[in-house]
Amino acid sequence: MGLGKLGATKAAKIGGVVSVILISAYHIANHVLTDQSTHIRLIGTLAVVFVGILATWELNRLDQKYRVTDKVISELEKVITYLEKNMYQIKLNTYSLAGELLIGMIDVTKNRVINIAKYRLKRLF
């Protein structure tokens, strides 16, 4: 990863804060500049933004307490390491399975052609 865990987390947090600020500013400007929005719509929008901020804060607190993000990243790193170490064997197994499937398809097709030929020959004689 180019940014690293810490950099990615900080970038996501900053992006979230900037998004909330821009969305709130847009809705306030929309309310002030147009007659289409009502006070109730503005209050509802700001309430949703506030609830979103609280939910984000609480999820972040729970993540820090239970280390869910760290555990998920750790498991993903294990999977990637396993895949990198075993990629050659995985490719061999995949090619082998594909070859077996192809051979099976050829056998089925060959048997079908033989059976059709036998049937046609019987009808001729």
Give me the pLDDT at residue 69, please: 87
**How many domains are there within the chain?**
1
Asked if 31 and 37 touch (Cβ cutoff 8 Å), the reply is: yes
Count of positions (residues) in the chain: 125
| pLDDT tens-digit readout, 58-86 | 988 998 899 998 899 899 999 999 988 89
Q: Is residue 44 part of a domain?
A: yes
Q: Cβ atoms within 10 A of the Cβ of 82, count?
A: 11
Using CA atoms, how far apart are residues 95 and 93, in angstroms rounded to an integer? 6
Q: Is residue 61 part of a domain?
A: yes
Give me the pLDDT at residue 1, please: 45
State the residue range of the domain holding 1: 1-66
Extract the residue ranges of the chain whose pLDDT is less than 70.
1-3, 35-37
Q: Is residue 96 part of a domain?
A: no
Give me the pLDDT at residue 21, please: 84
Give me the pLDDT at residue 37, please: 60
Give me the pLDDT at residue 34, please: 75
Give me the pLDDT at residue 23, please: 83
Q: Is residue 51 part of a domain?
A: yes
Q: Is residue 88 part of a domain?
A: no
Q: Is residue 81 part of a domain?
A: no
Asked if 39 and 29 touch (Cβ cutoff 8 Å), the reply is: no
